[in-house]
């Protein structure tokens, strides 16, 4: 299995090379050179497997034998052993056709754990094999940072610096990052938005001397391994509901487009996924694009669903590359114009192709609270704001065939957003016992301006101190 950059100027790599590189040197994102496609019989053979075994089967299609399927099975069994539900990611039926795929039973109570707990172990295996050390830099709108920190804390060959927008995460999200005092972990609270944090991470990767000096690696979904590790839970849900002999649709609350891209990848591999519904909050750039081919950047507005407070969705570049017939030059030119002009000039043909499969839906804070309340009244189900947007989208944009089940990606535990849930339902969802003392734990983080030189100086000092 080889991987190519969406911008065509970086050398192809194998899976381990992509894992450690994260972002391609030309600024593009890696994708498989060719997509693995399973037959109907091969999909059926995956039914009934325990989740770690299923995930190992799917991941082995992307690793090219390194790690092997056997190594993956062991690694993934360890990754999911500490999850709070024996099914790892159970399906919960909400009504006659809508199901919640609960992805929040990991250590940080968010869907990012599904990939990150495995990603940390993949780094360990790969770095040990190569005798190398890396510095992970990541941007977070709330959940990626805590999941990465939990997965990589105290690992001998990995230093971690996570950038988050100060004051724009929930308190639980912030504390899950800043209360981890392991020496290889550092948190930066930046004065700006998530897009500012994400731009700084990309700028560090684009700074070739700094990238080489620090041996930078990525845990954001710009890293293909992150996306690949999210594909199995869409496979598991589809198989549980009758695929490949029954069609299914997914509704995914989406910020950086990586989670819904994993669902698209499962479809590309042959699963009968008829529709992908993209849920957005007031930062509705993806909904505007899908409804009217308008991907114009606006100011990021804080909301009750902070993990979706994003205007520049990095993983959309991967879909764009596919929509443009894998034309790397056209992809590069389109993305460069987007960055300079603030509007993405997607051709009408490419937009129509996207709009045939994807549907957009946006919900403001008031509507989000109403949906959290409705779910509790009608279904007895407590949902966080992101999941509520996904369920509202599933109700508002159903498949044309009402017999097709819709699976909502339930991306965060309601206890991560207690204020919103309490306001909508009158119930304050408690944190699980392992996090019960979270509000009493001491915090450690550094405030910095959203300036590249300041962030690079901090990252260099952190990595050098730990390597000494």
From 112, 202, 423, 451, active-site residue: 112
Both structure tokens of 453: 């030189």
Q: Supply the range of the domain harboring residue 123.
A: 112-223+441-467
Asked whether residue 264 falls in the same domain as residue 326, the answer is: yes
For 142: left if phi > 0, alpha if psi spans -120 to 50, otherwise beta; the answer is left
Asked whether residue 396 falls in the same domain as residue 255, the answer is: yes
Tell me the average pLDDT across 8-22: 95
| 34 found inside a domain | no
* Percentage of the chain exceeding pLDDT 90: 89
Distance, CA of 331 to CA of 281 (rounded, Å): 27
Q: Give the pLDDT score at 221.
A: 86
What mean pLDDT is reported for the chain? 95
Q: Give the pLDDT score at 468.
A: 52
pLDDT for 66 beyond 80? yes
Asked whether residue 289 falls in the same domain as residue 207, the answer is: no
Asked whether residue 320 falls in the same domain as residue 348, the answer is: yes
| 414 found inside a domain | yes
DSSP code string of 254-286: -SSSHHHHHHHHHHHTT--EEEEEEEE-S--HH
pLDDT for 341 beyond 70? yes
Name the band, by pLDDT with cuts 50, 70 and 90, for residue 219.
confident
Write the CATH number for 298.
Answer: 3.40.50.1100
Q: Give the pLDDT score at 77.
A: 98
pLDDT for 467 beyond 80? no
Asked whether residue 279 falls in the same domain as residue 405, the answer is: yes
Total tally of structural domains belonging to the chain: 2
pTM above threshold 0.95: no
| 16 found inside a domain | no
Asked whether residue 386 falls in the same domain as residue 453, the answer is: no
Tell me the average pLDDT across 460-467: 80
Beta strands 3-5 and 30-32 are antiparallel
Distance, CA of 365 to CA of 290 (rounded, Å): 21
Asked whether residue 166 falls in the same domain as residue 245, the answer is: no
Tell me the average pLDDT across 228-249: 98
Asked whether residue 316 falls in the same domain as residue 282, the answer is: yes
Asked whether residue 368 falls in the same domain as residue 456, the answer is: no
Q: Give the pLDDT score at 427.
A: 96
Name the band, by pLDDT with cuts 50, 70 and 90, for residue 226.
very high
Q: What is the pLDDT of residues 119-176, one digit of tens each?
A: 999 999 999 999 999 999 999 887 889 999 999 999 989 999 999 999 999 899 999 9
Per the annotation, the verdict on 112 as an active-site residue is yes
**Cα-Cα-Cα-Cα dihedral of 161, 165, 169, 174, to 10°?**
30
């Amino acid at each position: 299995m080889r991987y190519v950059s969406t911008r065509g100027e970086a050398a192809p790599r194998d899976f381990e090379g992509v894992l450690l590189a994260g972002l391609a040197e030309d600024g593009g994102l890696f994708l498989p050179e060719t997509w693995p496609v399973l037959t109907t019989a091969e999909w059926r053979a995956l039914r009934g497997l325990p989740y770690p075994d299923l995930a190992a089967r799917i991941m082995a299609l992307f690793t090219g034998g390194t790690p092997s399927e056997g190594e993956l099975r062991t690694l993934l069994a360890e990754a999911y052993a500490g999850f709070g539900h024996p099914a790892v990611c159970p399906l919960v039926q909400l009504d006659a056709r809508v199901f919640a795929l609960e992805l929040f039973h990991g250590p940080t109570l968010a869907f990012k754990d599904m990939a990150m707990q495995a990603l940390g172990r993949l780094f360990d295996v790969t770095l040990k094999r190569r005798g190398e050390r890396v510095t992970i830099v990541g941007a977070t709108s709330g959940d990626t940072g805590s999941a990465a920190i939990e997965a990589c804390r105290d690992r001998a060959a990995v230093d971690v610096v996570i950038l988050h927008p100060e004051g724009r995460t929930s308190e639980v999200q912030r504390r899950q990052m800043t209360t981890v005092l392991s020496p290889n972990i550092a948190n930066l609270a930046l004065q700006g938005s998530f897009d500012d944090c994400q731009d700084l991470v990309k700028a560090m990767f684009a700074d070739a001397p700094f990238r080489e000096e620090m041996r930078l690696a990525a845990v954001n979904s710009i890293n293909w391994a992150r996306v690949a590790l999210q594909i199995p839970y869409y496979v598991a849900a589809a198989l549980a509901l009758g695929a490949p002999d029954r069609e299914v649709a997914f509704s995914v609350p989406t910020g950086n487009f990586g989670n819904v891209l994993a669902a698209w990848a499962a479809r590309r591999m042959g699963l009968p996924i008829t529709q992908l519904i993209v849920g957005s909050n007031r930062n509705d750039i993806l909904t505007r694009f899908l409804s009217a081919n308008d991907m114009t950047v606006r100011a990021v507005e804080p909301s009750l669903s902070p993990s979706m407070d994003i205007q520049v969705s990095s993983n959309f570049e991967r879909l764009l590359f596919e929509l443009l017939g894998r034309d790397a030059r056209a992809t590069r030119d389109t993305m460069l114009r987007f960055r300079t002009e603030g509007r993405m000039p997607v051709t009408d043909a490419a937009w129509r192709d996207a709009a045939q499969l994807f549907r957009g839906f946006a919900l403001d804070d008031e509507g989000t609270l109403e949906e959290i309340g409705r779910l509790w009244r009608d279904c007895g189900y407590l949902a966080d704001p992101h999941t509520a947007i996904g369920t509202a989208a599933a109700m508002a944009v159903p498949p044309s065939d009402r017999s097709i089940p819709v699976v909502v990606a339930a991306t965060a535990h309601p206890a991560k957003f207690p204020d919103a849930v309490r306001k909508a339902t009158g119930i304050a969802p408690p944190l699980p016992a392992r996090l019960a003392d979270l509000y009493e734990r001491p915090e450690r983080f550094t405030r910095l301006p959203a300036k590249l030189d300041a962030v690079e100086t901090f990252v260099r000092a952190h990595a050098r101190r730990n390597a000494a």
